[in-house]
Amino acid sequence: TSTACTMLSRVSKGLARPGSRLLSGAAGSEKLAMVGSGNFGSALVRILGQNALRHDIFDNEVKLYVYEEMIDGKPLTEIINETNENVKYLKGKTFTNNVVADPDIMSAVKGATLLIFVTPHQFLKFDALQTAELGPDCKAISLIKGIEFEEGGPRLISGIIKDSMGGMDTSVLMGANVANEVAADEFCESTVGFATEGAGAVWQKLFDCPTFRVGKIKDVAGVELCGALKNVVALGAGFCDGLGYGGNTKAAIIRIGLKETAKFARLFFKGIQDDTFMESCGLADLVTTCFGGRNRKCAEAYAKANKAKTLEEIEAEILQGQKLQGTLTAKEVNHILKMKNLEHEFPFFTTVYKISYEDAPFSALTETPY
């Protein structure tokens, strides 16, 4: 109750902070809401909070939808709003105090003109959002790394968001962005994949800062597929590490993985740009994910255990509530390839899946003809 009262008070008083202002979608204003508050979302909302104050086109307040959890007997949203820190998923890093956590998704997105989705895609639900009171000409951007499938082939998360939200203009942001390094303000780059120039420009302005440089390219599908499929490649890289292979082997796996990523993108989607694979979302994200990140880490542990534990058991043990994207994407990709009788065209993706979920030995990683 105290959290609800605090938040009501903030809204009614126009945040009651120096320089704060109440905007209701008027010309020249963009109201921000982030859906998701895990490790990566928390790292990026630090940037959004700063940029909302830096640029006049954005409303000062940044709403952060948080799935409510109790931390030492206290609601997580209450802790975030009192300390400006997500103590569960990004301990030790603070937000600007214009970031306001809200456990009610309808309240969090009310009046928003810019929706940022950064929740594991298995948790993405639209029942509530379809009836939310959004601001005029609301746009969305997906930071979610994964794909789903339907009878015709793969379906992009951005496409699911667009369709579920009544045709909303939906872009994507993907790049070489390991969350803890972003939170530490270490220099990195990212890529906005957009469908309309106006959306590309506003998302670039929202995320770009001196330590987080954002490029943009008119290729939603290409950027998004790079972000999704690199996690499958990272499983292969993790297997390499767990088996004690050196840099040569991992470099080969990265090259093969990038080649199959580009082939998959061009096979199932039109308008894929060659340049996309040389942007941060392509080669750079693939490299960093294959040397760091949760998918590589869990795959390494799986290989070291020689399948004595399942990937799901290792996920629960190592990630403590966070979710792997690579395993789910590997399943979805294999389903599509099997359905289309294309497994032989993508031997690397198929091998990673079979090592992960069937009886293929780890030696298949280097013995399969690519």
Rounded to the nearest 10°, the torsion over CA 317, 321, 326, 330 is 90
- Least Cα distance to 111 among 190, 11, 43 occurs for 11
Structure tokens at 274: 């060659």
Tokens of 123: 């948790």
User: 88, 230, 250, 297: which is the annotated catalytic residue?
Assistant: 230
From the number of C-beta atoms within 10 Å of its C-beta (0-12, 13-18, 19+), residue 28 rates as exposed
d(CA 246, CA 155): 35
Rg, C-alpha atoms of the chain: 21
Is the CB of residue 29 less than 8 Å from the CB of residue 23? yes
**Distance, CA of 78 to CA of 101 (rounded, Å):** 8
- Structure-token match 């972000």, residue found: 227
Query: Distance between CA atoms of 95 and 47, rounded to whole angstroms?
Result: 8
Residues of 329-338 as b/e, b for ≥16 C-beta within 10 angstroms?
A: bbebbbebbe
Active site residue 230: yes
Sequence-distant (6+) residues with CB within 8 A of 30 are 57, 58, 59, 113, 114, 202, 206
Count of beta carbons in the 10 Å neighbourhood of residue 185: 15
Indicate the residue type of 239.
F
3-state secondary structure of 277: helix
Task: Report the Cα 175 to chain-centroid distance in Å.
Answer: 9
- Return the sign of the alpha-carbon dihedral for residues 140, 133, 206, 57: positive
Angle formed by the axes of helices 220-242 and 294-304, nearest 10°: 30
Q: Which residues participate in catalysis according to the annotation?
A: 230
